Amino acid sequence: MDRISELCRSMGIVDLGVADPEAWDSDQLVSSRISQECRPLSIMPDARSVIVIGIPIQQTVLDTAPSIAYRHLYSTVNTMLDQCAQRIAMELISEGFRAVAIPRDGYHGISGLMERPDAFFSHRHSAYLAGLGSFGQNNVILTRRYGPRIRFTSVITSAELPAGNPSGEDLCIGCGLCMEACPSKAIPDSPYPLGITDKPACVAESARLAAMSISPCGRCISVCPVGKESGPSPTDEAIRRIREYVKR
Ligand code: SF4
Ligand code: SF4
């Protein structure tokens, strides 16, 4: 694990955890939400660990969302996560283990999501089981340091590593700001997993924004007070100018 931690530090990974693949069956929240074929042991039957890595999204850019600036950052962070996961998998394989880097976004773009609004693997649930955070009302993982402003990906491996557990701490304060900010009324008024985001409604908004090259939306992440930087936001004029650059 020391070698993996060192590699992650060198790649700018700020959050690292390990989940036990068997927790997908034993944890009530996760087993009730994730189908059997989307669990690590279905993907790699000899899996012993799921490594979860996280890279944060900067609030200053999120303040402009939806925008070309946020779209670019979102895509860059996804690419970084995929590259880091690949390097971790290669490192494990070179040490004689089996490993597979799960794609950050395991679905066929927005058109694929409109047909089936689920990815084949949930990195949110990996992060939850690794003890990296708790679910917010917006159904996103909140961490103490970054709130929902962090994206995760996962590496499944046959290497046995010390695993974390869900922390039991609920970071969501139930303020409802994410619900108020959602233009699609996609966010439920009760916490996850009682309240489930209306994914088709959220995807429809993404498709609308994609037509202007400014998806994803990001509003429900931007407004969340958990882990929000206390520094000043960009001025209204700066946000207006950034939002001006929209394909119509
Ligand atoms: S991403 Fe946008 S549309 Fe989707 S749930 Fe969040 S605020 Fe609503
Ligand atoms: S905005 Fe408020 S209700 Fe929504 S996830 Fe954040 S803390 Fe929870």
Q: Which residues contact 234 (CB under 8 A, 6 or more apart)?
A: 60, 63, 64, 242
Q: Which domain holds residue 179?
A: 2-244
**Number of domains observed in the structure of the chain:** 1
**Which residues of the chain are under the pLDDT cut of 70?**
106-118, 230-232, 245-248
What radius of gyration, in Å, describes the C-alpha atoms of the chain?
18
Q: What is the pLDDT of residue 113?
A: 59
Q: What is the pLDDT of residue 182?
A: 97
Q: Which helix (H) or strand (E) holds 208?
A: helix 199-210
DSSP state of 18: E
Q: What is the pLDDT of residue 236?
A: 80
Query: What residues does ligand 1 touch, defined as CB less than 6 Å away?
Result: 181-184, 186-187, 197, 202, 205, 217, 219-220
In a mutational test of the pocket of ligand 1, which residue from 141, 187, 189 has the highest number of ligand atoms less than 8 Å from its CB?
187
b/e sequence 29-63, b meaning 16+ C-beta within 10 Å? ebeebbeeebbbbebbeebbbbbbbbbbbebebbb
Q: What is the pLDDT of residue 94?
A: 95
pTM of the model: 0.92
**Distances 1 to 5, 30, 64, 125 between C-alpha atoms, Å:** 6, 25, 38, 21
Rounded to the nearest angstrom, the distance between the alpha carbon of 196 and the centre of ligand 2 is 14
Q: What is the pLDDT of residue 105?
A: 81
Q: What is the pLDDT of residue 242?
A: 73
For the CA of 216, the closest atom of ligand 1 is 1
Instruction: Tell me phi and psi for residue 82, to 5 degrees.
Output: -65, -40
